[in-house]
Each structure stands twice: as C-alpha cells, then as structure tokens.
C-alpha cells in the first residue's frame, strides 16, 4: 500500500534535503576537483541543489517557509562547524594515526568560514526574494522564468562573494576572476538543467493536497 505524505511531511523532506545538500557541500569542499577544465571545490556538485529546493518550497509553501529553510540551514552550518571543531580538539586514540590528516581535511580558516557564511546568507536570501518578485511579475505563471532568473542571479552573488572574501589578496584579481568564471559557468548550466526537477518537485509537493500558495498569500501547512 502506497504511503501518503501530508504537506507537513513533504515540507520536512524538502527541508531535510536542503540541510543534507548544504552539509555535504561544506564537508566535501576541502577537495578541489577539475570539471571540464575548470578547478572548483567538490561541494559545487551538490550545493546548487539547495537553490532548487528553496525554489520548490517557495512555489508550494510560500516565502515565509522558504526563509525558515534558509535560516535553518545557517543554524545547521554553525552547528556543523562547532561539531567538527570539537572532533578535531578531542584527543585521538593511541593507535589512531590520522589525526593530522583529519585536522587538515576538516579545518578551515576563519576567512574561509566567514566567506562561506556571508555568501550563503546573501545568495539564499536573494534567491527567495527574487523568486517571489518574478512570481508576482508573471502573475504566478511561467515557473521556469522565476526559477532560472532567481537561481542564476543568486548563484552569481554566491560565487563572487565567496571567492572575493576567501581568496582576494591571497590570489590576484585576475586569478579570482578566473575562479569566479569557472565556478559560475558550472552553476549557470546547473540552473538550466535543474528546471525539470523543480517542476517535478513542485508536482510532487502539491500532489494529493488541495492547498496551494496563491501569489504571496501563504496558507497554513495543516489541512
């Protein structure tokens, strides 16, 4: 027998996906990978999922709930940072020989942390605001327009802020521009490719539930 998920359940699933993608991006970003000739942190393969999720939440549940997800993500990032710092600080077992490697992988400079938190909060807040701006402009039609315009703009803000705060001065301006260009190109392509999944996510979240968000009016989760 198929399991029926309520709106509350579906919101919880989307929030969990958001936090998982955000946490995974932060954990794996210590590795630099090469994609199509461009170098970027490994987190780039999963971080764009967070924007896809906020767009689905914005479309189905409204601005207030998408903001909740963004702030939840910020709290979880800070908690993850605290947990990893504690894990590094705890003394290793006598037979454990990888403490330095563990510390290297999970340590981040204050500047990197500041860049990550600033870029995250600015870009995610921008994504929610722009999504609803374009939703009003298009009278709640053409989901693909608000999805792409909001994501592409907010991803650019995220990339520029993170690279410039984290690396400007360490690398030259031209090197930072190359890093921005390579990372944003990948994010731009992902923003286009994720559109069918946003439609699928919206269909899934609304399926079997009578309530929908109308313009900027936010209806309660409970039915």
CATH number of the domain within which 68 lies: 1.10.1760
How many domains does the chain fold into? 1
- The answer to whether residue 35 is domain-embedded is yes
- Percent of the chain at pLDDT above 70? 91
Residue 160 lies in a domain: yes
Confidence grade of residue 3 (pLDDT, cut at 50, 70, 90): low
Rounded Cα distance between 144 and 128, Å, is 15
Own/partner contacts of 23-26, CB < 8 Å, gap of 24 or more, are 23/76, 23/77, 23/80, 25/50, 26/77, 26/80, 26/116
Strand runs labelled E in the chain: 32-35, 38-41
Per-residue pLDDT band for 118 (boundaries 50, 70, 90) equals very high
Q: At what angle do helices 48-61 and 7-28 cross, to 10 degrees?
A: 160
| pLDDT recorded at residue 222 | 43
In a domain, 42, yes or no: yes
Do the domain assignments include residue 79? Answer: yes
Say if 211 falls within a structural domain: no
**Within a domain: residue 185?**
yes
Does residue 60 fall inside a structural domain?
A: yes
Show the domain range for 48.
7-89+104-206
pLDDT of residue 109: 60
Kindly tell me the sign of the dihedral angle through the C-alpha atoms of 161, 201, 74, 145.
positive
pLDDT band for position 116 (cuts 50, 70, 90) = confident
Average pLDDT value over all residues in the chain:
85
72 pLDDT tier (thresholds 50, 70, 90)? very high
Answer whether residue 167 is part of any domain.
Answer: yes
pLDDT digits (tens, 9 = 90+) for 183-223: 888 888 888 899 999 999 999 998 876 454 444 444 445 43
Q: How confident is the model at residue 70 (pLDDT cuts 50, 70, 90)?
A: very high
**Separation CA 48–CA 153 (nearest Å):** 12
- Classify residue 168 by its DSSP letter: B
């Amino acid at each position: 027998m198929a399991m029926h998920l309520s709106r509350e359940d579906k919101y919880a699933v989307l929030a969990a996906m958001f936090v998982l993608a955000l946490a995974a991006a932060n954990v794996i970003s210590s590795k630099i990978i090469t994609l199509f000739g461009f170098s970027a942190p490994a987190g780039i393969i999963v971080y764009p999922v967070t924007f896809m999720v906020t767009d689905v939440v914005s479309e189905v549940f409204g601005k207030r709930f998408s903001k909740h997800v963004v702030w939840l993500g910020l709290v979880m990032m800070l908690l993850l940072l605290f947990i990893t710092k504690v894990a590094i600080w705890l003394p290793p077992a006598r037979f454990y020989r990888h403490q330095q490697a563990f510390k290297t992988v999970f340590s981040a400079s204050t500047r990197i942390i500041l860049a990550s938190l600033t870029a995250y909060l600015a870009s995610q807040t921008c994504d929610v605001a722009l999504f609803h701006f374009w939703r009003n402009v298009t009278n709640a039609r053409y989901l693909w327009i608000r999805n792409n315009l909001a994501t592409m703009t907010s991803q650019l803000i995220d990339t520029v802020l993170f690279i410039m705060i984290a690396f400007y001065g360490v690398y030259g301006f031209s090197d930072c521009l190359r890093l921005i260009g390579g990372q944003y190109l990948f994010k731009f392509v992902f923003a286009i490719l994720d559109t069918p999944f946003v439609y699928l996510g919206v269909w899934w979240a609304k399926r079997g539930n009578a309530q929908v968000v109308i313009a900027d009016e936010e209806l309660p989760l409970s039915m």
